[in-house]
Structure 1
């Protein structure tokens, strides 16, 4: 059973991800992801990336192209134990883009206990479409 400390560490890992990418500290992705983690943004039209080096290269390319968010916010975190050292985590994210636009997403993560730390082993990002402004 996941302890309160496990849940706190998992939540902190999700928060750490936001700081690592927002502050362009891509050399610290290993503090957030397992070495062979998958980062899947195909539902956003941006592909999927396997491993920290591929994620680092994709993030750097997005930043250089001006497509990386300025700031990430993670909320509504739910954690479900799936094994002795694994859990499924669902959360919502809000991103502020360079042009001021707001993007909302759902993160579906698998986390695992890796060398004594809870890290993201898999992340699937699903955009939340904006509601139609006029339904009439």
Structure 2
């Protein structure tokens, strides 16, 4: 979903940026410790969670998201790490975030993904309303 971006906007202050970065980082801690009952602290109740690259399609809502994570079982990485977070405020008042995710499997293999998020603010708190998880499979071409 394309949004018009207002780079360098003063509307998103440093406190917003810190809260959003903390929120994005918190996802891995919740998943890795099995605290799926706390996903509402990161995502909206009606979250769109696009895991099409992993055969899951677009999942709608927290309960369906929890069920999908549980169904992954041992295929779910044991360690989720986020880096390279880039935030841009959009003209509709949401925030667009791109970040890199590194997942470590039980066997020790590392996988890389890109998280493409749309965040919304409600009741003075930020939440991820849409996340697309994109697999990185092919090397860059010169």
CA RMSD after TM alignment = 1.5
**TM-score, scaled relative to structure 1:** 0.90
Gaps of 5+ in 2: 1-10
Gaps of 5+ in 1: none
Which residue does the alignment assign to 1:99? 107
Which residue does the alignment assign to 1:41? 51
Deviates more, 1:40-49 or 1:123-132: 123-132
Q: Does the CA contact (< 8 Å) of 1:34 and 1:114 recur in 2? A: no
In structure 1, distance between residues paired with 2:59 and 2:35: 18
**TM-score, scaled relative to structure 2:** 0.86
SS across alignment from 2:126: strand
CA change 1:71–1:130 in 2 (3 A) is: farther
Name the one with the larger strand percent.
1
Deviates more, 1:96-105 or 1:123-132: 123-132
Q: From 8, 12, 15, give the equivalent of 2:18.
A: 8
Shift of 1:115: 2.1
SS across alignment from 2:75: coil
Which residue does the alignment assign to 1:117? 125
Which residue does the alignment assign to 1:54? 64
Deviates more, 1:22-31 or 1:122-131: 122-131
In structure 1, distance between residues paired with 2:62 and 2:52: 17
Residues 9-28 of structure 1 correspond to what in structure 2 (within 5 A)?
9-28=19-38
Which residue does the alignment assign to 2:134? 126
Q: Count residues in correspondence.
A: 130
Residues 72-111 of structure 1 correspond to what in structure 2 (within 5 A)?
72-83=80-91, 85-111=93-119
Q: Does the CA contact (< 8 Å) of 1:74 and 1:92 recur in 2? A: yes
